[in-house]
Amino acid sequence: MRSSWKLTGSSAVGSVAGFAQGLHPVANVFKPLASPAQSIYNVSMLMLAICAAIFFVVGGLLLFTIIRFRQHETPDNREPAQVYGSNRIEIAWTVIPILIVTVLSMATARAVVEVRNKRMPPNALQVTVIGHQWWWEFRYPTLGIITANELHVPVSTTAMPTHTVLQLESVDVAHSFWVPQLAGKVDVIPGVTNTMWFDPRESGTFLGNCAEYCGTQHANMLIRVIVEPAAEFERWAAAQKLGAAPDASPETARMMFLSLNCINCHTVNGTLAQGTFGPNLTHLMSRTTLGSGVIANTRENLRAWIKDPQAVKPGNLMPNLQLNSRELDDVVNYLSSLK
Ligand code: CUA
């Protein structure tokens, strides 16, 4: 886990002073912002309260005993009263923990059932999440959109409750999808389709992680969920549905990109590039980060990434194509035009 779990953030896009331009905001786990996260939070608070009570009772008795029965300055050499066993006390310290554990398991079971069995309205937004080493693919089957690493969903309001349902799949190893402020962890397993849902009640960017060790770059398999008002989400979806910007870049740059091996792994809708091994690049410039959240999506970073992906994210599966600086310029020019 990265350093993002300090419990000091004031909101999802916490106040991280400038580190990588706020690429790793602090997620405040004490501020749940969707129903599943709220259920988990409620159980955690109950657990914390009961455990704190136990701590203070046990600690208090211990402290009392230490003080009350400490050695006195004028020891009388008599042995204290020797007490062996007490049925009443033994029954009490057997029954009380059983009651406590029962209450905790019932509360947990209730929260699990509440989240798992929640009926989704038919108009819920459907997204297929596909785990890759080491990035996330997001497909919106009903909208015909394929994107990566940044999941856009509409906010849920009391006037218009909006649910997002995720189907989680993996093409390689086991991953786990976790955005703490929205919902609990759900494993992403090859050959299995798991589901989860959330109804985010605030707009903003929510950071998540892969929560199951999946290889070298497990820690850099970051998730960004961008929650936006319905109108903004519609605008985003409409733009994503379009093909690649046709003539925004010089023809030479486009031809250069399409002549390179990039197209074996990446798709740019409406072009020869139809590879599916790496992220879909049709609207690359609409994303804020590169390499699954590792660096900000700027022109310089994009160039550095293509020049030597292994220097930026060692072990990742994008090869170094050894491009010369002209090829590099052309590819960066072309990709920068994919708004
Ligand atoms: Cu994917 Cu850890």
- Whether the CB-CB separation of 50 and 103 falls below 8 Å is answered with yes
Ligand 1 close to Cβ of residue 129 (< 6 A): no
State residue 15's pLDDT score.
34
CA separation for the pair 320, 325 (Å, rounded)? 13
> Which residue CA neighbors atom 1 of ligand 1 most closely?
175
Report pLDDT for 244.
Answer: 75
Q: pLDDT 10s per residue in the chain (339 long)?
A: 344 333 333 333 333 333 334 455 567 888 899 999 999 999 999 999 999 999 999 999 999 999 988 877 666 777 777 888 889 989 998 999 999 999 999 999 999 999 999 999 998 999 999 999 999 999 999 999 999 999 999 999 999 999 999 999 999 999 999 999 999 999 999 999 999 999 999 999 999 999 999 999 999 999 999 999 999 999 999 999 887 776 666 788 888 888 888 999 999 888 888 888 999 998 998 999 998 888 999 999 999 999 999 998 998 999 888 888 888 998 898 898 888
Minimum-distance ligand 1 atom for the alpha carbon of 221: 1
CA nearest to 126, candidates 173, 176, 162, 150: 162
pLDDT, residue 252, reads 84
- Answer yes or no: are the C-beta atoms of 221 and 135 closer than 8 Å: yes
pLDDT of residue 75: 65
Q: What is the structure's pLDDT at 83?
A: 80
3-state secondary structure of 108: helix
Q: Which pLDDT belongs to residue 143? A: 93
175 lines ligand 1 (CB under 6 A): yes
pLDDT at 246: 67
What is the model's pLDDT at position 21?
Answer: 41
Q: How far is the CA of 277 from the centre of ligand 1 (A)?
A: 17
Contact 281, 267 (CB under 8 A): yes
Distances (CA, A) of 43 to 152, 169, 326: 28, 28, 58
Residue found under tokens 């009443």: 88
Residue 244: CB partners within 8 Å, gap ≥ 6? 268, 269, 270, 271, 282, 283, 338
What's the confidence (pLDDT) of residue 238?
A: 92
What is the pLDDT, as a whole number, of residue 28? Answer: 80
Query: What pLDDT, on the 0 to 100 scale, is given for residue 11?
Result: 37
Task: Give distance in angstroms: CA of 188 to centre of ligand 1.
Answer: 9
Report the nearest atom of ligand 1 relative to the CA of 134.
1
pTM: 0.82
pLDDT at position 51: 94
- Is there an atom of ligand 1 within 6 Å of 218 CB? yes
Give residue-wise pLDDT tens across range 261-296.
899 999 988 888 888 899 999 899 899 999 888 899
Nearest to 30 by CA among 52, 3, 11: 11
Query: What local confidence, expressed as pLDDT, does residue 85 receive?
Result: 84
Cβ of 213 below 6 Å from ligand 1: yes
pLDDT digits over 111-135, tens only? 999 999 999 999 899 999 999 999 9
Query: Is the minimum distance from the CB of 210 to ligand 1 under 6 angstroms?
Result: yes
